Structures are given as structure tokens and as C-alpha cells.
Amino acid sequence: MTLETKLPKVGTTIFTVMSQLALEHQAVNLGQGFPDFDVPGRLVESLARAMKDGKNQYAPMTGIPALRQAIAAKTERCYGHRPDADSEVTVVSGASEAIFDAVQAVVRPGEEVIVLDPCYDSYEPAIDLAGGRAVHVPLDPQTFAVDWDRVRAAITPKTRLLMINSPHNPSGAMFGASDIARLSELLRDHDIWLLSDEVYEHIVFDGLRHESILRYPELRARAFVVSSFGKTYHCTGWKIGYCIAPPALSAELRKVHQYNSFCSFAPAQWAFAEMIEAEPEHYLGLGEFYQAKRDRFREQLSTTRLKPLPVPGGYFQLVDYSAISDLDDAAFCRWLTIEKGVAAIPLSPFYESPPAGQRLARLCFAKNEATLDAAIERLAKL
């Protein structure tokens, strides 16, 4: 028998590759985006209590009611819109599952999905598995701003879905009010669904406002909005997220979700429900928490030959390494990990066609001070 892959363009993800290299060469891992500091104490205590109290069996497919209600209340507090907890909030096994489920729910074979490059590497495989075709529209290679005229030019009668991400991974760029106005205008005359990846929604700096699609009735009426507890509560390994969407879209997403994971880790759902209500100051203060890390890390980078780009949101710092090397980004990041002991992520895997001559790497500053200090000590010697 001949096995024909359904994902011919997919190999091992760059995050796995670089983390394995970091482990093999005892490098400081600033590559894969996960914190190395503690989960909030209340969350751990709540999780342990839920398990001890016997809340260890299947959760309801859509998520436990207490958590969906807490999400609805939190959404209203943050964005002025309270989604219906029963028909519009779905708890899933991480934001990646929500993205996959949403794409499978609305994209049919032969249809097109617009993605904005550089984009997270799970987007296109989900589109491919739905039988769709990803249409890549590049962001500005310096500022990572959206050229909405190029997005408009990419729309065809086959366009089914537009995928956006703010704060943006890998650049940290964010939508402003003008982007929302252009997006609204662009979609108004088209039957196109919207998927808004907002996993870094609370990690916003310098007094900026996260322009969630949930703030805008015209846009949220056609949108899947995806959030991540792992990013907000420093527990990426728990793999719990959620999707807010209008009832009709939520119903279609749930059809996929129930045959994908069916439900998500029940004790963690009880813990998040308690944490959201008991300590709202955690998510409300998350931007300030990470801004201190960003500012300290950027100050440390000034002692190196790496040039940091602006970071309005998220917990990644792009650096221009052109003063150090002419290697392409993949080769540079391998060299940096193996020879210099700091793991970074190249940008080229986030693109269909990387910009010629781009010399950028992504570093994660969601680390404790000792980790960042150790990395800077090595980077300063480049």
C-alpha cells in the first residue's frame, strides 16, 4: 500500500526542533513561548481541590457552566459585551484546538482562507485538512502592519474566512482603531467569516488598548474569537482555551469539537472558574507584569549587538541580528543555539515566502530574571 500524506508541507515544527536543540546543547531556551515561572498559587490550590473533591470525570462538551459564566462576565468587564454563556462560549483544549475547530466548521474543499504573513504555523495545516487553500498576504516587513488594500485585492468569490491575530505572534504588533475601521469596511460587503486569534489579549503595553473584535457588534456577528488560559495564567501545559462566537457559528464549531476532543480537562475548568472570579487583578494587571519584563530585557539587549524591534504587546521580542551575521535566520538560530548557547526561533517558518534578506529572530521574555540574565550574558559576547 502507498501512504500519501495529507500534509505534504508539514514536518516537525520549528518550536520542537529548536527546543530539542536547546536541550541537547544546554542552551538557554528563549525559543518556544512558555513561561518558566510559577502558576498563580490560587490556581494550583483550586486545581488540587477540584481533583480531591472528585471532579475528575468528563466535563460537559461545551465546558462546565461555572466557567462559561465566569468567561462571559470577564468578557463584559473587559470589552463591554456579555456573550451568552450557554450558546456563545465554548471551552476547548487550547487555542490551537479552537482554531482548528473553527476552520473545519466553516471552510469547505476549494474555498480560500486569507492569512497574514508571518502567521502562526498551525493556521495553514488546519486549512489544508479542510480542503481549503491558504492565501498569504504579507504584513509590512518592518512594522508588521496590515496593508488593507492588499487584503482587499486578495478577496475572491472563493474567500470563506479571514484569519487575524492581535497582539501578533511573532512580532507583537497590534491593531489600532484605524485597523478596525478598515477591517469593518472591507468585510461589510462580503460574506466572509472572521477568525480573531487573541491569545495575548491581556499582554498589552504602554497604555495601549487591545482592540478585541468582541468590542465591535458588526465584526463579532461574523467572528470566532479565540482566547487562551495558558497564556494568561502561565500554564501552557494545561492546554485550556475558549472560543466566543455567535450562536450559529458556535453550534458549528461544537459539532467539530465534540468529535475532536469532546471536552477539556475538568479539574482545570473548575480551577479557572474560581480564579477568574476571585482574582480579576491577575488578568487586569498582566500587561504591567510583562511590561516590566519587556523593559528590563530590552535594556539588557542594549549591551549586545542585537537590535530590538518595538514590542507593543505579547511576550516575544524580535531582534535584528544583521550586525552579527549574514546567515539566513534558520542557520543563524541553529548557530546561536549550538555554538553560543541561546535558543531563538527564526521567522521564516511563519511565512509562505519570507522577505529577501530579512535577518530577524524571535526571543521569548516570558522567563524569570535568572533565565534572562543567563541569556544576556551569552548574547553580550556575540
Q: Which residues share a beta bridge with 196? A: 164, 225
pLDDT, one tens digit per residue, over 46-90 is 999 999 999 999 999 999 999 999 999 999 999 999 999 999 999
| pLDDT for residue 19 | 86
H-assigned helices in the chain: 14-24, 41-52, 65-79, 95-106, 123-129, 148-154, 177-188, 217-220, 229-232, 247-260, 266-278, 280-284, 286-301, 329-340, 369-379
DSSP designation for 45: H
**Mutual angle of helices 266-278 and 65-79, in 10-degree steps:** 40
pLDDT at 18 > cutoff 90? no
pLDDT digits (tens, 9 = 90+) for 297-332: 999 999 999 999 999 999 999 999 999 999 999 999
**Is residue 99 classed as helix, strand or coil in its secondary structure?**
helix
Q: How many CB atoms lie within 10 A of CB 327?
A: 15
Percentage of the chain lying above the pLDDT 70 cut: 100
Checking if the pLDDT of 14 tops 90, the result is no
Whether 13 shows a pLDDT value over 90: the answer reads no
| Whether pTM exceeds 0.95 | yes
Say how many C-beta atoms besides its own lie within 10 A of residue 335's C-beta. Answer: 13
Q: Structural domains in the chain?
A: 14-39+284-379 (3.90.1150.10), 41-282 (3.40.640.10)
List, for residues 156-202, the tens digit of each pLDDT value.
999 999 999 999 999 999 999 999 999 999 999 999 999 999 999 99
pLDDT of residue 16 exceeding 90, the answer is: no
- State the average pLDDT for the chain: 97
CA gap 268, 289 in Å, rounded = 23
Cell numbers that stand for 115 in this block: 492569512
Quick one: pLDDT at residue 22? Answer: 86
Q: At what angle do helices 247-260 and 95-106 cross, to 10 degrees?
A: 110
- For residue 235 the three cell numbers come to 500554564
Torsion of CA 253, 254, 258, 263, to 10 degrees: 110
Neighbours of 15 (CB within 10 A): 15
The arithmetic mean of pLDDT across residues 268-279, rounded, is 98
CB-based contact 325:359 (threshold 8 Å): yes
Contact between residue 158 and residue 43 where contact means Cβ atoms under 8 Å apart: no
Distance CA 260, CA 180 (A): 32
